[in-house]
Structure 1
Amino acid sequence: MPIQTETELYAPIKQYFEQRGYTVRAEIKHCDLVAIRGDEPPIIVELKKSFNIPLLVQGIDRLRLTDQVYVAFELPNKGRAPHRLQWEEIRRLCRMLGLGVLTVQFFKRKQPAVDLVCEPTPYQLRPNKRAALKVVNEFHERSGDYNVGGSSKQKLMTAYREKSLHCAYLLQQHGPLSPRLLRDFTSNKAVSSLLQKNYYRWFVRQSRGIYHITPLGVQALAEYAHVLAAFPGAETSDSSTTLSTLNP
């Protein structure tokens, strides 16, 4: 039976790159999967249930960020190339576009198998270094992989949301604090802007230069309790106890 959503492709492809020494994270700046190994340029993989034109267009768009872009889809029935094409035709098309191709075959009793159809080849369009740097920065500023590649219409755990959670957590643990103290705790130079913009409405200015957490912030800490363990000195179990006391 064909897969129901493209998110089913994420885990086997993540494992494929992790076995080759990459760190993998999902949904970085609208990219389904980003893999980075050391100081090498990022690898971007776009996921779709089947091979189609929107997948190719999506892959071509990612070439603005890196020349290491793959498109990935489920291996069609009986291993035949999609749309009555030959696999060599798929390879030739994607090489002309500068894209690599990965397929995933699913079994009832065995682990999914990932097959490399072709490697990406250099494309004449040069990557946008500024946009690529944003992808790399977002990757490194996240503490872990809390999303699933291919997700849509769901809240994503971004670096900005993590930083906001960290501030909310510190305000819950220590009470009202100034931006300067929060900056010292978090090493986030932009903490003042984060508090003033208050995008998630997790903070309230209690007095001049002093901020505290709102009930929405307490709810967020409960919702994202699994992320709190990444914060320095935080323990998930302790956080859960505190949260249950404040938000029964």
Structure 2
Amino acid sequence: MAVRHETELYAPVKAFFENLGYEVKGEVRNCDLVGIKPGQQTPLIVEIKKTFNLALVLQGMQRLKLSSNVYVAVERNRAKKGAVNQRWNELVGLCRQLGLGLLTVTHFKTKPPLVEVLCKPAAPSDNVHNAAKVRPGSRKEKLLREFHARSGDHNIGGSTRRKLVTAYREKALRVAVALQSLGEAAPAQLARIAAVSTAAAVLQHNYYGWFERVSRGRYRLTPFGEAALNEYAAVLQEHGIKTATGMDAELDEDSGQLQIAEAPITYSTVAAEAEDD
């Protein structure tokens, strides 16, 4: 059964690697799928396409600069046996020469999708020596930082022309929820209540147009900010937060912080985190 969109391949591939012990998140710094096993530094990266093509190969080669554990994943459609992108023996040989792993996803009308590993990456490794090569500010370090800073998997790998829920957007949503409940507030107050240490930078940069300054050191939510809380209501509700469109955001009486995630999330600088948007 042919798929219409790349996103239809994401859920089966995600479930496959979760069963192998990976924590998986989609659309992390332009990678369709990123997975990390507890205690490991080498990320799993999967690039997803409906069909095997040159663009997929080039993406895979680029990802090998970030990790040795890179797969490309495509649909396997039994109705396309003669198609160029279904000549699996030749494609497996190509992937092995390049050091890429190759996955296929077969969809059925009445059965769950089947994920098959046709070949594994050439030399995935995660020894201590290799982990030490993660340099601060490198693309790999930014990938790992973004992965760990996100509270969950709110994006579908393979998505195009969609607003992604990045770590920075989560942080801005925390500030917006706090500001909605307070009406007006100072950055220091929002930093404490929303558990976002860089709340002042979020307000001042105002990348999304969600905030406006009403007086020196005082901010309020704009109509764009109110709309954003409605747009991302599912993300907030996933962490037990209800905005003013439903109920007031809940405050922890002991810490005075909004209960948006299980624990406050630590973020790095605004400029670095905003690169994904």
TM-score for the superposition, normalised by structure 1: 0.88
Q: What per-residue deviation string (whole Å, max 9, x for no partner) do you get for residues 58-113 of structure 1? A: 11111121111100001132685852775343222112211100000111100000
8 Å contact from structure 1 (residues 48, 72) kept in 2: yes
Matched, 1:179 2:184: no
Give me the CA root mean square deviation: 2.3
Give me the identity figure in percent: 45
Matched, 1:145 2:146: no
Q: Output the CA distance in 1 between the equivalents of 2:68 and 2:29.
A: 16
Residue of structure 2 in register with 1:241 after alignment: 246
Q: What per-residue deviation string (whole Å, max 9, x for no partner) do you get for residues 193-228 of structure 1? A: 211111111111121111111111111111111122
Give the 4+ runs in structure 1 shifted more than 4 A. 78-82, 126-129
Q: What per-residue deviation string (whole Å, max 9, x for no partner) do you get for residues 95-154 of structure 1? A: 22111000001111000000001110139xx98751111111111111111111101011
Q: Output the CA distance in 2 between the equivalents of 1:143 and 1:216.
A: 23
Q: Output the CA distance in 2 between the equivalents of 1:151 and 1:78.
A: 25
Q: Output the CA distance in 1 between the equivalents of 2:207 and 2:85.
A: 49
8 Å contact from structure 1 (residues 228, 239) kept in 2: no
Residue of structure 2 in register with 1:209 after alignment: 217
Residue of structure 1 in register with 2:165 after alignment: 157
Equivalent AA in structure 2 for residue 131 of structure 1: R
Residue of structure 2 in register with 1:246 after alignment: none
Q: Output the CA distance in 2 between the equivalents of 1:6 and 1:15.
A: 15
**How many aligned residue pairs are there?**
238
Residue of structure 1 in register with 2:104 after alignment: 103
Equivalent AA in structure 1 for residue 223 of structure 2: P
Q: Output the CA distance in 1 between the equivalents of 2:139 and 2:190.
A: 29
Q: Output the CA distance in 2 between the equivalents of 1:110 and 1:158.
A: 33
Q: Which structure shows the bigger proportion of residues in helix conformation?
A: 1
Unaligned segments of structure 2, at least 5 residues: 125-129, 249-277
Deviates more, 1:81-90 or 1:99-108: 81-90
Query: What secondary structure is seen at the aligned counterpart in 2 of 1:5?
Result: coil
Q: Measured at CA, do residues 75 and 176 of structure 1 come closer, stay the same or move farther in structure 2, by a change above 3 Å? A: same
Q: Output the CA distance in 1 between the equivalents of 2:230 and 2:111.
A: 37
Q: Output the CA distance in 2 between the equivalents of 1:3 and 1:204.
A: 44
Equivalent AA in structure 2 for residue 140 of structure 1: H
Residue of structure 2 in register with 1:11 after alignment: 11
Unaligned segments of structure 1, at least 5 residues: 244-248
Equivalent AA in structure 2 for residue 108 of structure 1: K
Q: Measured at CA, do residues 214 and 43 of structure 1 come closer, stay the same or move farther in structure 2, by a change above 3 Å? A: same
